[in-house]
Structure 1
């Protein structure tokens, strides 16, 4: 079973930036054990949520043509803890994309305050070699996680269509088109 540490994408700009939400609830078993009586989201799982957000951003930028694996985390700083009942906002910016891999700057926010800042390096592996080494199920691009991305894209299209419809109803012309006196 693969755990998904993203509940929803709020914003997704292909090849540039992604913003996602993770709601922390006591329904998640790991919070019962870490720590009993004071349910704290493990820092490693916050990093995993940032990595899933970044992995989708990197993979989508390449049309999901290759497997994307987390290669290393050169830097990770935490400035507090997140507990059950909190909502984390993940923001990931693609800073370097090359044939061999990518680098993202990732931040987690809690109540508008910076909770974590992480640099993540990903490697690209061609599908044949990746499946030989790791097997097909060890990657970010599971159907469940790609469904979260598909939902975000559908919501973005709906928002854009609503904005266009609203603009047309307001002045009878597309947004940005000047009206004649």
Structure 2
């Protein structure tokens, strides 16, 4: 019998910081909403002009790097796995296994809010695979499939 909760609702920044080891400037998710067990969640990232990546990417035309959107997808999935209770009660670390089928469709700039829509594809022991779609105002800006392993810290 599966005793994981079917709906977790959301994780605010305090809960995210408890779940993930990432900190500024590499924390790419501000809130996670719509959490359903380890199946689905939406990570929220508010893109602001004062973030350090914009000093070099690009000074006169700030564009949020695609690789950081992939990282935001992975962090959202990590919060989902850890907060769902699927990993047990001990502190865990999340490590990337794979990134597949990554596509970048539109630029993201300061002032945008990225939504990382993460849907579980598969799970095997302590490894998960998710399909992610990054959206800004409903428009698809990036997509990828990511895999991660959760291990004891």
TM range (shorter): 0.7 to 0.9
Unaligned runs of 5+ residues in structure 2 are 1-21
Give the superposition deviation at 1:59.
Answer: 2.7
**What's the CA shift for 1:63?**
3.0
1:47 to 45, 70, 85: 70
Q: Distance in 1 between matches of 2:89 and 2:65?
A: 29
Q: Paired residue for 2:3? A: none
Greater mean alpha carbon deviation, residues 37-46 or residues 60-69 = 60-69
> Is residue 89 of structure 1 aligned with residue 115 of structure 2?
yes
Counterpart CA distance in 2 for 1:80 and 1:90 is 14
SS at match of 2:103: strand
Query: What do residues 65-111 of structure 1 show as CA deviations (whole Å, max 9, x unaligned)?
Result: 45331111022011111011111111101121111411001110012
Residue of structure 1 equivalent to 2:135: 109
**Match of 2:87?**
62
Hey, what does 1:6 align to over in structure 2? 29
Q: Distance in 1 between matches of 2:135 and 2:68?
A: 14
Paired residue total: 127
Partner Cα distance (1:45, 1:22) in 2: 11
Cα root mean square deviation, aligned? 1.7
In structure 2, how many angstroms separate the alpha carbons of the residues matched to 1:68 and 1:36?
32
Instruction: Flag the structure with higher helix content.
Output: 1
Q: Greater strand share, 1 or 2?
A: 2
Tell me, yes or no, if structure 1 residue 28 matches structure 2 residue 54. no
TM-score (norm 1): 0.65
**Relative contact order higher in (CA < 8 Å, ≥ 6 apart):** 2
Q: Which has the larger radius of gyration?
A: 1
The CA deviation string for residues 109-128 of structure 1, in whole angstroms up to 9 with x for no partner, is 01211111110011233x2x
Deviates more, 1:54-63 or 1:42-51: 54-63
1:58 and 1:94 in contact (8 A); partners too: no
Give the stretch that moved more between structures: 77-86 or 5-14. Answer: 5-14
Conservation of the 8 A alpha-carbon contact between 1:31 and 1:39 = yes
Q: Does 1:123 align with 2:146?
A: no
User: Structure 1: where are the runs of 5+ without partners?
Assistant: 132-181
